[in-house]
Amino acid sequence: MQKILYGLFSRLVYGLSLIFSAYLLYLSVWNVWNGETLDWRLILLLSGAAGALLFGLCRFLQGHEKLADRLWKLCIYIGVPLYTAGLIWYSARMTIIPQYDLNEVQAEALRLAAGGTGAWSSYFMTFPHQIPVTLILAAAYRLGMAVGVNDFYMAGNAANALALGLSALGTLLLAGRLMQKPAAITVFLFFVCNPIWFLYISWTSTDTFCIPFALWGLYFLIKSEEKGYRPAFLAAGFGLLFVSMGIRAVNIVLVIAWFLHLCLRENRRNIVKAALMAALIYAGLTAAYRGVCSAVEAPYDSEARFPVSHWVMMGLNRDTAGSFAEADYQFTLQTEGYEAKKEKTMEQAAERLQEMGAGGLLAHGAEKLRLTWSEGYCIESTWYNVKAPGTVYDFSVGARSGGVQYLCQVFRVLLFAGLLWASCRGLLTPQLLDRRRSGGKISGAFLMTAFLGAIAFYLLWESGQRYSLSFIPWLNIGAAAGLAGWKKISTDK
């Protein structure tokens, strides 16, 4: 019975992911960026050429296993360090003066790094979810001070580069556990060649800092499945995933997707073992976080904090396609008390739902999908108040950035094309993407379930161009599964 239920569930997941990936592929090709439509013919031409190159590389390496083994080692020991160094070099030429939320985060991190005590700024009383990334930056600044680095912006950029370097390595090793090395190398190159990570290197925020924790958390959870759910691997996996959730709450979709597949595939003993470990790790991390917050006097439970319903309400704002709205911000800010904020924002959200109706809600959701998912070049030049603009700035976000815009869009098109192909293969021939049938336990439908969860989250939440960024690395792996399928691995305990 369990096998039948899971088979039906997998086909439902692949069917839904096929619909959404097809729609997002369409939006990515006929994309609108800041009111200007990119040339769809050029996007298709470049995407076709890049896709053929990646496909050819993967097939070539599949026929040359020894070369693939050497290239695998080169990626780990040379590729990742060079990539990280390249990010730091780039950031030295794109050092920005903080804007918006980043200004508040960096100012507070500098205060903590310098040993400051006392009350945090009122910003953190309103948005305590920014405290974890502030603590990470403060640690980076403190380390920079210890080794004689006086440029705190560069210390933050170096921390961001390290996070992205660990993300690149995590992408390679996670893909390597799921696929043969040729496909894993292809996924790695797809990650490091995407210029969007360079553009974000000076934007030290939750968007990038959460990525390595999520990737390595998935790595250890998948390894735990291969090793009979050993407690050490479960603890490492849940610990890292919960940290990623603390930095960016949307990563909860990974935990939910993993548990959903676990419950549909495993026996009761393994389900209970995983659930108990998750509860234990979550309780321990929560206690530790509150202890750190108390030590640095961080207002993690301020009465002035915005409730979850605020972002749901904002996500239902038709005038801004669910993105940030100053009027909504002021509405919640001027309501005193956490419970009152929750009540008022829930009432406003309900009113907006009623006003839109089914047809309006559908149209609003379509616009939110376009805004959140279709932009490959998901930045705004107004974010970058650079200290000394130069050639690198000009080609990145300045007057001559057209080439980078198209290149970023090509990577987004290839992502959804890969997800579409993987969904088709999973729907028609699920055995090709199911590692249980080839000696493993994790199914290709797991990443597709997380993909659907991410879409659902941002249909409910505030939308934004950059909000899909943290999902790209593990979605790349899901897309590549359509190209290569999963590998047969040992499941010895």
Alpha-carbon distance values, 418 to 173, 196, 429, 480 (Å):
20, 19, 16, 6
Q: ∠ CA(280), CA(216), CA(272), 5° rounding?
A: 30
* pLDDT tens-digit readout, 354-408: 999 889 999 999 999 998 998 888 876 556 666 667 788 788 877 788 888 899 9
- Assigned domain for 250 exists: yes
* pLDDT tens-digit readout, 428-464: 765 545 544 433 444 568 888 999 999 999 999 998 8
d(CA 267, CA 453): 24
**Going by C-beta distance under 8 Å and a sequence separation of 6 or more, which residues neighbour residue 240?**
213, 214, 216, 217, 220
Same domain, 11 and 109: yes
Same domain, 104 and 168: yes
**Of the residues 335, 362, 389, the one at which a domain ends:** 362
DSSP 123-174: HHHH-GGGHHHHHHHHHHHHHHHHTT---HHHHHHHHHHHHHHHHHHHHHHH
What was the pLDDT predicted at 111? 87
Same domain, 120 and 232: yes
The number of domains in the chain is: 2
Pairing of strands 36-37, 96-97: unpaired
What was the pLDDT predicted at 380? 63
d(CA 84, CA 166): 9
**Of the residues 362, 382, 403, the one at which a domain ends:** 362
Same domain, 18 and 120: yes
- Assigned domain for 490 exists: no
Number of Cβ atoms within 10 Å of the Cβ of 186: 25
What was the pLDDT predicted at 484? 59
Collapsing DSSP states into helix, strand and coil, what is residue 37? Answer: strand
Same domain, 95 and 6: yes
- Assigned domain for 369 exists: no
399-406 own/partner pairs: CB under 8 Å, 24+ apart: 404/195, 404/199, 404/377, 405/33, 405/38, 405/376, 405/377, 406/38, 406/42, 406/43, 406/46
Same domain, 337 and 479: no
153 closest CA partner among 104, 92, 81, 83? 92
- Assigned domain for 316 exists: yes
Show the low-confidence residues of the chain (pLDDT under 70).
Answer: 31-37, 95-96, 98, 380-388, 429-444, 482-493
Question: Do 198 and 87 contact (CB within 8 A), yes or no?
Answer: yes
What is the domain range of residue 154? 2-301+374-484
Pairing of strands 385-386, 96-97: antiparallel
What was the pLDDT predicted at 399? 77
First-to-last alpha carbon distance for the chain, in angstroms, is 26
Same domain, 106 and 189: yes
Same domain, 11 and 40: yes
Number of Cβ atoms within 10 Å of the Cβ of 383: 17
Tokens of residue 124, six digits:
């953190």
What was the pLDDT predicted at 435? 47
Question: Do 481 and 422 contact (CB within 8 A), yes or no?
Answer: yes
Collapsing DSSP states into helix, strand and coil, what is residue 436? Answer: coil
Same domain, 355 and 379: no
Question: Do 190 and 182 contact (CB within 8 A), yes or no?
Answer: no
DSSP 67-91: HHHHHHHHIIIIIHHHHHHHHHHHH
d(CA 162, CA 209): 9
Tokens of residue 474, six digits:
């593990």
Write down the H helix ranges in 179-230.
Answer: 181-192, 196-199, 206-209, 211-226
- Assigned domain for 208 exists: yes
Element (H, E) at 48: helix 40-62
Alpha-carbon distance values, 1 to 6, 7, 15, 30, 328 (Å):
9, 10, 21, 44, 48
- Assigned domain for 368 exists: no
Question: Do 421 and 482 contact (CB within 8 A), yes or no?
Answer: yes
Same domain, 193 and 231: yes
Residue in this structure with the two tokens 């969904």, named with its chain if needed: 423
What was the pLDDT predicted at 368? 93
Alpha-carbon distance values, 161 to 171, 197, 257 (Å):
15, 9, 29
Q: What angle, 0 to 180 degrees and rounded to 10, lies between the N-to-C axes of helices 2-29 and 338-373?
A: 70
Q: What angle, 0 to 180 degrees and rounded to 10, lies between the N-to-C axes of helices 308-315 and 338-373?
A: 40
Same domain, 282 and 351: no
- Assigned domain for 454 exists: yes
What was the pLDDT predicted at 492? 34
Give the global pTM: 0.91
- Assigned domain for 83 exists: yes
d(CA 467, CA 236): 26
Same domain, 19 and 128: yes
